[in-house]
Amino acid sequence: MISIMTTGRLFPYCWVRPWVGHCLVFFFLLGLASVRGDPMDDLIKIHLEAIGGKTRVEALAALRAVGQVYAGGKVVRFTMTAARPARLRLETHSTDRTLIQGNDGQDPAWELDSASRPLRPRLMEAVVARKFVADAEFDDPLVGGAARGFVFDSAGEVVVDGRKFLRVLVTHKLSDTYTLLIDDETYFIAMRLEQRTSAGGRTLQVVTHYEDFRPVDGVLLAHKVTVSVDGNVSQQTKVLKIESNPLVSAEAFTVPKIAAP
C-alpha cells in the first residue's frame, strides 16, 4: 500500500457518507451469507467492495498526491506520483533542501539530493531502497494480494479503544511480516502493526494509523497517515490534494540525466 514515509513511505466523485458505505457492505454481506467460502477470501471480497469495487480500483491506474509530513517538529512538503504496477516518484521539499526519490519497477531505486555535491543521482542505500520499493506497491495488500506474493491468515478479533477490529496476519514474499487491523464496520484497513529493528539493534513496535478516507474516482483512500513508534507519534502525513490518472511519462520514474557543469 502506498504511504508517505520519508524514507529517507502512502487516493472525484461526490462524497460518500459513512452510512451509505455501511449499507453497501451490509447488502454485500447478505449476498455472501448464502455462499459458504473461506472466511479470509470473504473478508478480502468485502474489503474490495467497501473501498470502491474491483472496476473502480482497476480504473485508478495512476495518481499524484500533494501534502505535508510533520516529523521532529518540522514540516516537509511532498509530491508523490505513483503508477501501476509499482512505479513511484517522491519529491520532498524543506526550506533549504529538495530530495527526489524514484523507482521504475525494474531498475534499482535512486535518489537525487539537492544538498549533495557534485549534484548527481545515486542509488539508494540497500535498507532504504528495500522499504521504498516495497511501498511502491500501488494497491493495499488485500487487493490482488496473492498474485503479488502476499499470504494472509485470519487471527480473530481485537478491541482497541472500544472499537472492534478484524486481525489479519500478513506475510509478503516469505520475508516481511506484519498485522493489519480491519475496521469491523467499514472494512477499511485502519492500522498496520509491525516490529522493526533500530540502528542500535533495539526492537521497535511500529503502529501506522490510516484515517480520513475520501473518494478519488470512486475509490476510498486514506488522506491522513500517522506513524507511532513505541507509543509515541513520530510522523504524520496529511494529503491535501490527489489527482487521479494524471498524464505521467515513464521518464518520471527513471534516473534523471544531469548535464555536466
pLDDT in tens, 129-177: 988 888 777 789 999 888 888 999 999 999 998 999 999 999 988 778 9
Instruction: Report whether 237 contacts 225 (CB < 8 A).
Output: yes
pLDDT in tens, 109-126: 999 999 888 889 999 998
Our measurement of the distance from residue 10's CA atom to the centroid of its chain's CA atoms, rounded to an integer in Å, reads: 4
Question: Whole-number mean pLDDT of the chain?
Answer: 84
Whole-angstrom Cα distance, residue 170 to residue 179?
6
Percent of the chain, pLDDT > 90? 64
Neighbours of 257 (CB within 10 A): 8
Sequence ranges of the domains in the chain: 18-244
The three-state secondary structure class of 44 is helix
Whole-angstrom Cα distance, residue 167 to residue 39?
12
Whole-angstrom Cα distance, residue 41 to residue 38?
5
Tell the residue number behind the cell numbers 487487493, with chain if given: 143
Whole-angstrom Cα distance, residue 226 to residue 241?
17
Residue-wise burial string across 67-76, b where 16 or more C-beta atoms lie within 10 A, e elsewhere: bbbebeeeeb
Instruction: Report whether 186 contacts 22 (CB < 8 A).
Output: yes
Question: Would you state the CATH architecture of domain 18-244?
Answer: Clam (2.50)
Whole-angstrom Cα distance, residue 230 to residue 197?
12
Neighbours of 15 (CB within 10 A): 8
pLDDT in tens, 166-219: 999 999 887 789 999 999 999 999 999 999 888 788 999 999 999 999 999 999
The partner residues of 191 in beta bridges, in order of sequence, read 181, 209
Burial of 198 (0-12, 13-18, 19+ CB in 10 A): exposed
Q: Is the peptide bond before 118 cis (omega within 30 degrees of 0)?
A: yes
